[in-house]
Amino acid sequence: MPQNKLIEDFRKLQSLLDSGATFIAFDTETTGLSSTNDRIIEIGAVKFDKNGIIDKFETLINPQKAIPAECTEINHITNEMVKDAPTAEIALKEFSDFIKDGILVAHNANFDLNFLNEELERAKLPQSKNKALDTLTFVRWAYPLLGKYNLQLMARLMDIKVTDAHRAFDDARVCMEVFNKTLADTRSVQKKA
């Protein structure tokens, strides 16, 4: 599997946004933690640029295997909910069309990118070559003294409303808001770059 192309120079993010770049905050819900053995059961995304939200994407995915009870306890996605959902091949073709060449944004990005690329490979679709930004690494850089950086904690600290934690679309929206807030908070550091 190709190495994920993560943006590491956070000081240039504001100029990248100001230049008209399109970003896609996204999140996946899965049947487990192993991208090689487990499957994506939901993907949600918010496409945005310097002017705000451009578009949204949200779909359940039929993993063609049973969802473990411990996963359903976390994300509340049941086997019944996904039984008539599109397969990964169909859903990820639509997702690839949605993201085009935008910059992907995810909290703990390698997790979601590894799942995305494994599913694309299984479906015999092209792997994602998009640049990506890990908001987990970004907030660690911006707020080095916090100690904990999970998405729900960052939302609480930043006064971002969470309506459906551990569902892909709401987590993607929260990720976008964490990105925007962190970008605003670090604007003075970025200008010195």
Which one, of 176, 171, 169, lies nearest residue 61 by Cα? 169
For the record, the structure tokens of 116 come out as 């995305």
Spell out the residues 6+ positions from residue 160 whose beta carbon is closer than 8 angstroms to its own: 154, 174, 177, 178, 181
* Cα separation, 180 vs 171, whole angstroms: 14
Q: Are 147 and 172 in contact (CB under 8 A)?
A: no
Distance separating alpha carbons of residues 127 and 166, to the nearest angstrom: 25
Task: Tell which residue, 123, 136, 151, has the closest CA to residue 29.
Answer: 151
Q: Catalytic annotation on 166?
A: yes
Query: Which of the following is catalytic: 39, 47, 107, 166?
Result: 166
Query: How many whole angstroms separate alpha carbon 96 and alpha carbon 125?
Result: 9
Query: How many angstroms separate the first and last alpha carbons of the chain?
Result: 33
How many CA atoms does the CB half-sphere of 167 hold within 13 Å?
Answer: 14
Residues designated as active site: 166
